[in-house]
Amino acid sequence: MGVSVSEKAGKAGIKYVEYLVDTWMPKPLWDSWSEEGRIRAAEVLGVGVGSVLSTTNHLESFNGVLKRKHIGQLQRSGKRLRFDVLIFRLVLYVLPNIYAQFRLLRSFKSWKKDRFSSAAGVEGISCQIRPKTVKKEPPHPVVAWYSPDPLRDGPAVDFVRMQRIIFVRSAKPFEIWATCATTSADTRNCDYPRYWLTSHPSGHATCTCADWLGHGGACKHLRALRHLIASSIAAGSLQHPFHFPENISQALHVLEQNKHWYGSYYQHSLTEPLAHSFASPTPPPSFSRPPGHTPLPPPTMPDISLVPTIEQEAEIEAELVTLGATDSGPNWGDASDQTTYEINHGAINHQHRQRLDNLISTSLPGLYGISNILQDYSPSETNLLVTEFSQIISTLSMQMDNPTIVPDLKSTSTSSQNDTN
């Protein structure tokens, strides 16, 4: 007796359901792709949650483009490429072409956005067609508190890791100032747009981004600044303890405490929030040096007399340079036994050490490769690049033994060209 069509379909359906249950529904697989799994993966990898992708669609897409577009045109009669030929083509042709196309599309989108925005006027097309809404005033003053938030904690870690948030020189005692590059900013351009942040040991903090000004709490930029301050405290370049409120009640208490403590000097001692979002390479008007007065320590610190002497005034004046300098550490204030210059100098050294470690870690693989090549390389003629590289290596060696040596790279390059000529 034959098997009916409906019975065959039923068996096929059961077999397909069993495949789905066995392949895609085990608990470890659910955990690995869940939000909790992403958070745990981010903790293990030491990156933000946003850096842990939730699907493999990007890999499938890249794999399809690689096979059908790039590798397909290199094959002959559909035969597989030899492995060394494949690596050679990938490194020298395929990958550079992909990145060049990506940069071209990104610059084209930026150009198109600027072109249409300028043609439509100051507000732009999107603002003209967007329905106007009445902005509701927040039920309480905009204050900062740091309740757990994986959606903001993850990007904050990424900002610190990628050095998109940096300290800038503060003009107010005790308060820390910093800038954080916007998401689309290219930090290779010195005029990249950035948000301006402050943090005070008492728990007061501000940011110029729309997220914080509209909702309060702690945006991803303020959370990144908290990580940066914690690193400075651990490194010993920051002497003052900092308080970070955990909820809105603590943040409002900090606000009232500071107003009572500083009194008429409140606006001169702490930076207040802006009325609108601000992202610019130049500081906003609120980031200005306050009128001269005897600065008080934060209410969370012991009362320390800070009436400066003539020498200290001269020292402070020398340190308060143009705002926005990104090559120096923050001004930690005058409450410790150290002078302002010594504290700033320590902070600058700490940042230079971090940048040096980063440059060395990225340069070591290439230097090892150069060392391996030189073992089998016998130069037959004078090579200007090799000569200049050798002189720089010699200078670096002398600097490691005596850091006070300042190399004159321009004269070194000129002498190398003269020797070649």
DSSP line for 266-290: HHHHSPPPPSS----SSPPTTSSPP
Distance CA 113, CA 49 (A): 30
Are 355 and 347 in contact by the 8 Å Cβ rule? The answer is no
pLDDT of residue 221: 95
**pLDDT range class, residue 166, cuts 50, 70, 90:** very high
The residue count of the chain comes to 421
Are 154 and 51 in contact by the 8 Å Cβ rule? The answer is yes
pLDDT of residue 331: 45
pLDDT at 211 over 60: yes
Lowest average pLDDT, out of 277-286, 292-301, 314-323, goes to 314-323
Strands laid side by side in the 176-181 sheet: 165-168, 176-181, 194-199, 205-207
Lowest average pLDDT, out of 34-38, 166-170, 239-243, 387-391, goes to 34-38
Distance CA 124, CA 131 (A): 13
Share of residues in the chain with pLDDT > 70 (%)? 73
pLDDT at 405 over 70: no
Share of residues in the chain with pLDDT > 90 (%)? 20
Across 267-271, average pLDDT: 86
Distance CA 26, CA 370 (A): 49
pTM of the model: 0.47
User: Which residues are CB-contacts of 297 (< 8 A; sequence separation ≥ 6)?
Assistant: 174, 303, 304, 306, 335
CA dihedral 331, 332, 337, 338 (to 10 degrees): -40
pLDDT of residue 333: 43
Are 238 and 225 in contact by the 8 Å Cβ rule? The answer is no
In SS3 terms, 1-48 reads as CCCCHHHHHHHHHHHHHHHHHHHHCCHHHHHHHCHHHHHHHHHHHCCC
Distance CA 92, CA 50 (A): 31
Q: Where are the domains of the chain?
A: 150-352, 378-421
Q: Three-state DSSP class for 232?
A: helix
pLDDT of residue 42: 78
Ramachandran region, residue 21 (left: φ > 0; alpha: ψ -120 to 50; beta: rest): alpha
**AA letter at 331:** N
In SS3 terms, 127-146 reads as HHHCCCCCCCCCCCCCCCCC
For 57-115, what is each residue's pLDDT tens digit? 778 888 888 888 888 888 877 788 888 888 998 888 888 888 888 888 888 888 888 78
pLDDT of residue 332: 42
Joined tokens for residue 296: 């008080």
**pLDDT range class, residue 141, cuts 50, 70, 90:** confident
Q: Three-state DSSP class for 146?
A: coil
The mean predicted confidence, pLDDT, of the chain is 77
pLDDT at 312 over 50: no
pLDDT at 224 over 90: yes
User: By C-alpha distance, which of 181, 172, 162 is closest to 330?
Assistant: 172
For 338-382, what is each residue's pLDDT tens digit? 444 455 555 566 666 767 777 777 777 777 777 777 777 776 666
pLDDT at 310 over 60: no
Distance CA 20, CA 280 (A): 52
Across 191-218, average pLDDT: 93
pLDDT at 236 over 90: no
pLDDT of residue 330: 45
pLDDT of residue 326: 41
CB atoms within 10 A of CB 288: 12
Up-side HSE of residue 159: CA atoms within 13 Å toward CB? Answer: 28
pLDDT of residue 71: 84
Sequence-ordered strand ranges (E) for 153-233: 165-168, 176-181, 194-199, 205-207
